[in-house]
Amino acid sequence: MKEMKNEYLHIKSKKSQCRIIFILLIISALTFTYNSTVAQETKDSAAKLSFTMNISAIVSNGTRNVNVRVTRKENKKTIIVDDLNTPLNLYLNEVKDYDPVTGAGWISKILLNNEGEGIFTFPAWFRGLADSVHEYTFIVKVNADPKYEDAEEQITVVDAKINLEYSGEDSVKTFAASISGWKDQAYSPIANTELKLCIKRTFNFLPVGQAGATTDSSGFISGELPLDVPGNANKTITLAARLEDDDTYGTVEVTKDVPWAILPKANPVRGRTLWSPGDNAPLLLVISSVTIIVIIWGTIFYLVSLLFKIRNLGKTL
């Protein structure tokens, strides 16, 4: 009887040991799985690249845009990001769905171009909002891209207005501009700021007046136009006043076309000469070349047709 009891206790002890070992194995397996998951998530997170978004707000002749340029660092060099597959989203004041009552929330989205840049345009309802709201916080956000980390940048700008005037009397032609910004529920002159007076060309702006000149206490600045600058083909010249990359107002510009007597230099009429481009070659040379090409290709097609006829005759015999 005593031996049976000892055997029973021995078997019970073995079962307890097996249960403990089984529980330890389960705990070890769960711990290993958890660590593997965390390590994989850390690896995936570390594998994604970081980038920088540069945001600028531009108002051109009353039309507002938000521009974004995306770059990243690689081997101590700054390179553009042109392979971002996820759209960039633009929000007003808060990152949330669009609120039709306040106008805050999501506005629009874009994809970057090959230069790593994108231009956000505003929907029609924003114009009504701009009549009552004069300070904006624009937020650009991108997330869930397979290659790049999530990112968010914002810029806050205040409304500003520029008035441009032109005087073309006698032999002296001048133009002036004044700028005012929204402050304390009203527009007031912006003094001691660099408001650039320019002539707008096809691809850039030609500065006019003294370099680095700033507005006076009434937000006014003027400059004299050079009389030898060629204008546009329609006998006008495009004047521009620009406030560039201001910390408070962003970029604000106004353009105006005014009459101008000096026309752009006309290109001489090209004659049909041997040294002219292909679209202006001598007619005799063009006719001769086309005739020779037609004869050569016509002969080739004729010979090919004869080969097919010989082949068909061989099948019938």
- Looking at the domain assignment, is residue 279 inside a domain? no
Residues 143 and 173 in one domain: no
Residue 99 sits in the same domain as residue 60: yes
Please indicate, yes or no, whether residues 108 and 171 belong to a single structural domain of this protein.
no
User: In sequence order, what are the residues at sequence separation of 6 or more whose Cβ sits closer than 8 angstroms to the Cβ of residue 126?
Assistant: 64, 103, 107
CA distance 90 to 195: 29
CATH code, 172: 2.60.40.10
Query: At which of 207, 229, 259 does a domain end?
Result: 259
Residue 312 lies in a domain: no
Q: Are residues 183 and 132 in the same domain?
A: no
Q: Which of 151, 87, 92, 81 is closest to 123 using CA atoms?
A: 92
CATH number, domain of 146, equals 2.60.40
Asked if residue 102 belongs to a domain, the reply is yes
Nearest CA among 199, 251, 205, 228 for reference residue 56: 251
User: Looking at the structure, do residues 129 and 192 belong to the same domain, yes or no?
Assistant: no
Domain membership flag for residue 249: yes
Domain stop point among 259, 286, 305: 259
Token pair recorded at residue 88: 């960039």
Domain-located, residue 79: yes
The reply to whether 146 and 224 lie within a common domain is no
Return the structure tokens found at 131.
């009549």
Residue 34 pLDDT: 62
Do 201 and 227 share a domain, yes or no? yes
Say if 273 falls within a structural domain. no
Question: Residue 138: its pLDDT value, please?
Answer: 95
For residues 56 and 148, state if they share a domain. Answer: yes
Q: How far is CA 169 from CA 25, 193, 224, 259, in A?
A: 96, 28, 12, 12
pLDDT at position 43 is 46
Question: What's the pLDDT at 7?
Answer: 54
Low-confidence residues in the chain, pLDDT < 70: 1-19, 22, 24, 29, 32-46, 170, 266-270, 317
Domain count across the chain: 2
Nearest residue to 240 via CA among 63, 119, 60: 60
Q: Are residues 180 and 104 in the same domain?
A: no
Q: Is residue 112 part of a domain?
A: yes
Query: Are 166 and 245 contained in the same domain?
Result: yes
Q: Are residues 148 and 175 in the same domain?
A: no
**Among 107, 138, 158, which residue terminates a domain?**
158
Q: What's the pLDDT score for residue 291?
A: 93
Query: Does residue 216 belong to any structural domain of this protein?
Result: yes
Task: Domain of residue 98: give its range.
Answer: 52-158
**56 and 154 assigned to the same domain:** yes
